[in-house]
């Protein structure tokens, strides 16, 4: 039986999106949504019959050409020209899962009945989504302000039977795939091209994808940090509830609680210690990881507001008999949130690399570079170099994109958010941070073996048993790149239920 999500007036939340994405759920429109889309389109058609005055984007040019009136006979050509002329993306093809999210979020935004699109246009977008017809969209081209213009133009081109799509494992002309699926291209009506191109679905799709990945990353940061804490013979007292209740940041409290849960029953954490304090990279895990968790909560609120919003322009209000040209396409809220996400995730990588550094430093009874006979063997010296290289790359990527702006459209679009650049930078940082944590896990697994016969917690020992099937103890030097890649693959293959990720 096919599982469907019904597009309706019910607001989306992150858990719902996670479920739709994870279960490959198909989409359909509710009857009330169909009625809203048709009502808005009929209103616009009647408005154009009765009103010959210029209405931006409907019977005028676009951007700096907003004062050029277009005749009724050329309204379809105007919209088609808009889509073709704006399909100017360059760079790498963005991942299929993000393109599919773009389709979903564009459908959601158009479903509210304030965009004036034809019902057939929304239905074709749904057909693309349900059949995994994924337009080829490129990394560069959006300034994150007049909507994600170039990326959304590439998303819209296949609706016209133009451009390319990724379908059944290969890139091919959209016209061929439409014929294969017996789908007819759309003849755009007034305002439709602008409705498809104005919007923040490139930034929003990246943001939603990165939120889900970041919660997964945070889970692993807490878990791997806990393993490293035991491997370093660290103290458990800094995770006591009392410490965090007198500085009650939500993320800090939740992180301390999760680390304690991971380490419950550990023989290593409860043995008598020879030291009274640990370095900050261990002792301050709740404060650092917790701050990132609080950041993710803020970013989630921003993006969930966005994906439940109308972000094209102009906006049509049928009941009020108003067509208003505004600026809901401007990506500033998303740009700031994405920059904040970049910084917060970079910090997970920064503190992870510091724990790796401590583990290889020959402290707490661990051999230098976590290998017997150091000197003959370099051991785990260079994996830490690689982690250091990656976290420095993250620091460079974390420079805020939103403080930049550049004039476009002959001065009409004189302030832009650069949120699209923030989005692609954030993805690189998240991907990089998985690599840094996989290196820490590789080191922590090796270090933990030097604590034998003492055991960590049942949970950690079970996790490590699975890990050691992929990456076993290194008695001497070998090609550690292969182990690091296996460690990364081990982390990436996990699928989590949503409640585990959030640890609410």
Return the active site residues: 56
SS (H, E, C) 191-247: CHHHHHHCCCHHHHHHHHHHHHHHHHHHHHHHHHHHHHHHHCCCCCHHHCHHHHHCC
The structure tokens listed for 21 are 């994405």
> Among residues 312, 318, 311, which one has the least CA distance to residue 44?
318
Calculate ∠ Cα 381-383-388, nearest 5°.
Answer: 100
Bridging pattern class, strands 138-140 and 170-173: unpaired
The structure tokens listed for 71 are 């005749």
CA distance 121 to 56: 21
- End-to-end, the C-alpha distance of the chain in Å comes to 32
Question: By the 8 A CB rule, do 60 and 70 touch?
Answer: yes
- The torsion angle over the Cα atoms of residues 130, 135, 137 and 141, rounded to 10 degrees, is -100
Q: State the DSSP H helix or E strand holding residue 178, giving kind and residue range, or none if neither.
A: helix 174-180
Question: By the 8 A CB rule, do 221 and 113 touch?
Answer: no
Question: By the 8 A CB rule, do 79 and 191 touch?
Answer: yes
Q: Which residue has the tokens 């970049």?
A: 342
CA distance 206 to 427: 8
List the beta bridge partners of residue 5.
Answer: 27
The structure tokens listed for 474 are 């290194």
Q: Which residue has the tokens 């550990």?
A: 266
Question: By the 8 A CB rule, do 93 and 136 touch?
Answer: yes
Enumerate residues 6+ apart whose C-beta is below 8 A from 248. none
> Among residues 444, 398, 425, 481, which one has the least CA distance to residue 281?
444
Question: By the 8 A CB rule, do 70 and 61 touch?
Answer: yes
Q: State the DSSP H helix or E strand holding residue 167, giving kind and residue range, or none if neither.
A: strand 164-167
């Amino acid at each position: 039986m096919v599982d469907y999500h019904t597009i309706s007036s019910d607001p989306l939340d992150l858990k719902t999106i996670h479920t739709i994405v994870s279960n490959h759920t198909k989409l359909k429109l509710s009857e009330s949504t169909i009625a809203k889309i048709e009502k808005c389109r009929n209103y616009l058609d009647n408005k154009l019959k009765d009103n010959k005055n210029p209405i931006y984007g409907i019977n005028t040019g676009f951007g700096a050409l907003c004062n050029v009136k277009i005749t009724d006979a050329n309204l379809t050509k105007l919209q088609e020209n808009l889509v073709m002329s704006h399909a100017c993306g360059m760079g790498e093809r963005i991942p299929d899962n993000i393109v599919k999210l773009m389709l979903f979020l564009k459908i959601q935004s158009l479903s509210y009945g304030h965009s004036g699109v034809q019902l057939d246009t929304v239905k074709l977008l749904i057909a693309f989504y349900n059949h995994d017809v994924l337009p080829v969209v490129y990394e560069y081209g959006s300034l994150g302000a007049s909507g994600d213009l170039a990326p959304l133009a590439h998303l819209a081109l296949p609706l016209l039977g133009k451009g390319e799509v990724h379908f059944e494992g290969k890139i091919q002309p959209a016209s061929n795939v439409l014929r294969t699926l017996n789908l007819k291209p759309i003849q755009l009506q007034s305002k439709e091209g602008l409705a498809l191109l104005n919007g923040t679905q490139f930034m929003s799709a990246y943001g939603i994808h990165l939120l889900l990945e970041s919660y997964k990353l945070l889970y692993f940061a807490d878990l791997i940090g806990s393993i490293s804490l035991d491997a370093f013979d660290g103290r458990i007292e800094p995770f006591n509830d009392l410490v965090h209740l007198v500085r009650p940041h939500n993320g800090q409290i939740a992180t301390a609680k999760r680390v304690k849960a991971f380490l419950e029953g550990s023989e290593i954490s409860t043995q008598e210690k020879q030291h009274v304090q640990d370095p900050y990279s261990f002792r301050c895990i709740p404060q650092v990881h917790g701050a990132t968790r609080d950041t993710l909560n803020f970013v989630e609120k921003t993006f969930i507001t966005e994906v439940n919003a109308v972000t094209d322009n102009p906006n049509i209000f049928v009941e009020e008999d108003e067509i208003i040209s505004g600026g809901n396409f401007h990506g500033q809220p998303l740009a700031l949130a994405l920059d904040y996400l970049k910084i917060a995730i970079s910090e997970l990588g920064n503190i992870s690399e510091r724990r790796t550094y401590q583990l290889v430093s020959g402290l707490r009874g661990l051999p230098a570079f976590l290998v017997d006979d150091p000197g003959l063997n370099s051991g785990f010296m260079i994996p830490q170099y690689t982690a250091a290289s990656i976290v420095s790359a993250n620091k460079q990527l974390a420079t805020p994109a939103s403080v930049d702006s550049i004039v476009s459209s002959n001065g009409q679009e004189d302030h832009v958010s650069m949120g699209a650049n923030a989005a692609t930078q954030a993805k690189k940082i998240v991907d990089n941070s998985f690599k840094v944590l996989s290196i820490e896990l590789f080191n922590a697994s090796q270090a933990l073996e030097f604590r034998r016969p003492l055991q960590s917690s049942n949970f950690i020992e079970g996790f490590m048993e699975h890990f050691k099937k992929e990456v076993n103890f290194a008695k001497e030097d070998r090609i550690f790149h292969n182990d690091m890649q296996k460690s990364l693959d081990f982390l990436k293959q996990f699928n989590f239920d949503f409640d585990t990720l959030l640890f609410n």
